[in-house]
Amino acid sequence: MNKINCIGILTSGGDSPGMNAAIRAVTRTALGRGFRVKGIYRGYDGLIHGDIKDFTSESVSNIIARGGTILKSARSKEFTTPEGRQQAYETMKAEGIDALVVIGGNGSLTGARIFADEFNVPCIGLPGTIDNDLYGTDLTIGYDTTLNTIVECVDKIRDTANSHERIFFVEVMGRDAGFLAQNSAIASGAEAAIIPEDSTDADQLEHFIGRGIRKSKNSSIVIVSESPKCGAMFYADRVKKEYPQYDVRVSILGHLQRGGSPSARDRILATRLGSGAIDAILDGQRNVMIGIRNDEVIYIPFADAIRSDKPMNLNLIKVLDELSI
Ligand code: F6P
């Protein structure tokens, strides 16, 4: 294995609050341990096209509190092609980058894994996604902040739902995972959550209708995990049709969920994982994602982090149900 002198760092896929804290931790830990650091802009596109700058400690000053990513992010189509990855490898060689730290979600780490296999490049992943859907880590960078943002929004929606005695279907992000929906529902005291991991969508809706809206409550909030086929609008339409006596509204929270200053918890997580990435490189680890389990920083092979479905505690849906009487 060639000696590693220079580490390239990039953020890829949907941004998440805390990515900057991770960039800061990776950069400063690496510099402190004698590596050179290069910031790669716009994800894998920047690696392909040489959008790269030398990073110093000052490059990451005053960013720990900022949402988004100073490195910008992209979902690179070119990097999904063998030609794109070949070009990325040429750029790495020309820039003298010996190892990569990739901060991103499932798609980004899948890209890192393929690239690492094809060119024998040491890659370390950090789980940067609001969706919390990477296997092997209890938490991903950005999830906690987004959860808090959703809860803040739902608290506000509750005020108006109550005043007008309405049922609100609130749609939240999560791609194919219901962590944000389930836990924001619990934290905001919502009446129900409709998530992809639970029984069929139709059953979940029937269950809510049977338990919730027929009771004495004058307002209800249902958190719905986003889905191309049956998001909040779909359920609202069904309830409107079957129960015209109810006043139903939809609120799709959208991209505001990805913004904002990271929570203390996300900043600490990002810092620990970022510093763990450099420990991993020094440990001779290759092609692993750095995660956290039971408060311990751990290494998860890319193949596991990407392939397996992250288990969800579905008992919490029962808890939600019991508390919504
Ligand atoms: O993966 C993060 C995420 O915010 C998902 O929750 C959501 O489905 C998706 O990205 C939205 O992507 P885009 O910003 O490209 O619309």
Q: Is the CB of 174 under 6 A from ligand 1?
A: yes
Give residue-wise pLDDT tens across range 176-193.
899 999 999 999 999 999
pLDDT at residue 59 in the model: 98
Give the C-alpha separation, 267 to 139, whole Å.
12
Closest atom, ligand 1, to C-alpha of 130: 2
Q: Check pocket membership of 28 for ligand 1, CB cut-off 6 A.
A: no
Give the model's pLDDT for residue 318: 86
Report the separation in Å between the CA atom of 108 and the middle of ligand 1, taken as the mean of its atom positions.
13
Chain-centroid distance of CA 263 in Å reads 14
Identify whether 203 is a catalytic site residue: no
pLDDT level of residue 322 (50, 70, 90 thresholds): confident
Buried residues in 226-244 as b, exposed as e (16+ CB within 10 A): bbeebbbebbbebbeeeee
Mutational test site, ligand 1, from 77, 103, 109, 131, max ligand atoms within 8 Å of CB: 131
Q: Which two tokens stand for residue 57?
A: 């400690």
CA–centroid distance, 66 to ligand 1, in Å, is: 19
User: Residue 81: pLDDT above 60?
Assistant: yes
Give the nearest ligand 1 atom to 173 CA. 6
Q: How high does pLDDT run on average in the chain? A: 94
Mean pLDDT of 156-164: 96
Q: Is the pLDDT of residue 212 over 60?
A: no
Closest Cα partner for 89 from 111, 114, 113, 121? 121
Q: Residues 73-101: what's their mean pLDDT?
A: 98
Give the pLDDT score at 211. Answer: 66
Q: Which amino acid residue places its CA nearest to atom 14 of ligand 1?
A: 14
Q: Reduced to 3 states, what is the DSSP secondary structure of residue 250?
A: strand
**Residue 213 pLDDT more than 80?**
no
CB of 74 sitting under 6 A from ligand 1: no
Residue 248 CA to residue 109 CA, distance in Å, equals 40
Does ligand 1 come within 6 angstroms of the Cβ of 105? yes
Task: Please check the confidence at residue 134 and state whether its pLDDT lies above 70.
Answer: yes
pLDDT value at position 218? 76
Question: Measured from the CB, is residue 68 less than 6 Å from ligand 1?
Answer: no
* Ligand 1 neighbour 175 (Cβ under 6 A): yes
Question: Strand pairing of 6-11 and 36-40?
Answer: parallel
List, for residues 234-273, the tens digit of each pLDDT value: 999 999 998 898 899 999 999 999 999 999 999 999 999 9
Is the CB of residue 15 below 6 angstroms from any atom belonging to ligand 1?
Answer: no
Which of 15, 45, 98, 131 is catalytic? The answer is 131
pLDDT at 217: 66
Which phi and psi angles does 310 have, rounded to 5°? -75, 125
pTM for the model:
0.96
Compute the residue count for the chain: 325
Cα→Cα distances 295→25, 147, 192, 306, Å:
18, 19, 30, 21
Q: Whose CA is nearest to atom 8 of ligand 1?
A: 175
Q: Comparing C-alpha atoms, which of 72, 27, 104 is closest to residue 302? A: 104
Distances (CA, A) of 255 to 138, 172, 189: 24, 9, 23
